[in-house]
Structure 1
């Protein structure tokens, strides 16, 4: 069955009404393109941190409870579309960099970012699990930003049956060694490399969204894309805002990729050193 999948590159900030309006526009655009799945960036609700080295608690993104009314509004916008969206989650006195996957019928899955880079631990607590879940477009797992740097993250989801991994990011250009052009930036190269590697090594579909524009001293890369299970980029936005839309038969493409060499079946976990 052919499925159209969209990954968004767009800028989001602290104004929740403005964010919701942009989310609605992206959902409308994805629906007009025939997409059944839309992956929005990390921190699409409330924006990301303005400084990764010295985050200011007075400028943290607003923390929302999982049952905040804004999710009901996004469900109303999504209707029959599967939508993944990032936000800052409040849990008692703790804050998490989090994502939900939903349709008009309700929440399908949740994820809290596990790997916290630089000084992000000042703003958020770390999540502690990766789990796939069933959706109308297939079995899906989610990663946030730095999670995709670690092969074990996507591998855990693939072993849990994920056919599609949604990677939601607010991924900036290099903070310490900025390049004159985003296309030449070290982080730009790594962002693309991780997307393609995670898809190829697990023989799954990776849908990678990202923020664009700037916040504080950071420039976000954009580069939203859909990657096939052979590690091939099927659609991308480059550094511009917009949607990367690809149409494919997810089950068939995964089957084709695994026909001779099936990486998950050929794993030899007894020979791998366990993490300490």
Structure 2
């Protein structure tokens, strides 16, 4: 009998650099999720600091990451609930270069307060992030054994890359957890002129597609905020066949809770045979890169494709 797990995704408005205030609000939602018997609660990306890397005090705030990671470990143990505390930006001093390195990190903390998984965001959003953050680059995506089965962690713009999902699915991931800070203003001027909510359409479409094409569940927690400020919200829990089984309809703060029936994932796999194909020795997609480490073009002749 496949298990059923209850999951909560929290949509918060991260007040810029108001770390303690943001943590206290997150803790309230976590305690509420625990009272509703949720086994896992997921917070948004940048939920402690917001994304204000040029603002005075941001670096200092990122230096407190260990303090707040420990607070979430204690809270998980207190509430007997697993927590993915969105992402926490970590400040690390590189003495040999005499400079700071910032990592955008998601953790999976179990209900005993133990860290079962850690993931550094790989796909950074343009120069907005690349000018400040260090990517996990070519480090492989990892799957973690958790009380909710095999879990993979992705962050925000990672979901635009099917390769990230495929790498996790090939390792048996059943649930993909994705903390996010995705706004409507991430669209271009042309796109906004065509559809002011184009990014919401992007998110709804891609999350549903990823569930179907990977026979997995997704817990997606996005930042929210006041209307008219560009926050997209629409945090949701998605499954094959159904799409969103729980979804926050707007950009306001709130929490969505849903039961995720892993029997549905098993049935979807039996129907679509995605994982079975990925596991075949003669599987024809090797995820070739266009260039090798030396910069030489090793791609196929595109005129033949």
Please tell me the TM-score bracket, short chain as reference: 0.7 to 0.9
Aligned positions of 1:118-157 closer than 5 A: 118-119=126-127, 120-128=129-137, 129=139, 130-157=141-168
1:82 counterpart residue number: 82
Cα distance in 2 between the residues matched to 1:231 and 1:244: 16
Give ranges in structure 2 of 5+ residues lacking alignment. 94-99, 291-305
Q: Whose Rg is larger?
A: 2
- C-alpha separation between the residues in 1 aligned to 2:217 and 2:287? 27
In structure 1, stretches of 5+ residues that fail to align are: 50-54
Q: Does 1:205 align with 2:217?
A: yes
- When normalised by structure 1's length, the TM-score is 0.88
Matches of 1:201 and 1:48, distance apart in 2: 31
Query: Is the helix fraction higher in 1 or 2?
Result: 2
Provide closer, same or farther for how the CA distance between residues 231 and 265 of structure 1 changes in structure 2, counting only shifts above 3 A: farther
Aligned residues: 266
Change (3 A) 1:101 1:89: same
Mapped partners of 2:287, 2:173: distance in 1? 24
Pick one of 82, 99, 115 that aligns with 1:107.
115
Measure the CA separation in 1 of the matches of 2:285 and 2:244.
32
- Structure 2 match to 1:27: 30
Rounded to whole Å, the distance in 1 between the matches of 2:287 and 2:84 is 33
What's the RMSD between the two structures over aligned residues?
A: 2.4
Q: Secondary structure at the match of 1:191?
A: helix
Distance 2:56 2:165 in 1: 34
- Given that 2:235 and 2:256 are in contact with CA atoms closer than 8 Å, whether structure 1 keeps it comes out as yes
Relative to structure 1, is the Cα distance of residues 131 and 65 closer, same or farther in structure 2, using a 3 angstrom cutoff? Answer: farther
Matched, 1:95 2:102: yes
Distance 2:90 2:209 in 1: 29
Mark the CA change 1:65 to 1:107 in structure 2 (over 3 Å): closer, same or farther.
Answer: farther
SS at 1:75's partner residue? Answer: helix
Aligned to 1:262: 273
State the Cα distance separating 1:200 from its structure 2 match. Answer: 1.1
CA distance in 2, matches of 1:134, 1:201: 22
Q: Deviations over 1:63-89 (max 9, x none)?
A: 2476x1222211121222111121102
From 69, 72, 80, the equivalent of 1:71 is 69
Partner residue, 1:243: 255
Kindly tell me: are residues 231 and 96 of structure 1, through their superposed partners in 2, closer, same or farther at Cα, counting changes over 3 Å?
farther
Q: Deviations over 1:99-156 (max 9, x none)?
A: 1111333111111111111211111011133111011111111111100011011111
Q: Deviations over 1:36-86 (max 9, x none)?
A: 01111011222223xxxxx626464632476x1222211121222111121
2:303 maps to what in 1?
Answer: none
Of 282, 286, 289 in structure 2, the residue corresponding to residue 275 of structure 1 is: 289
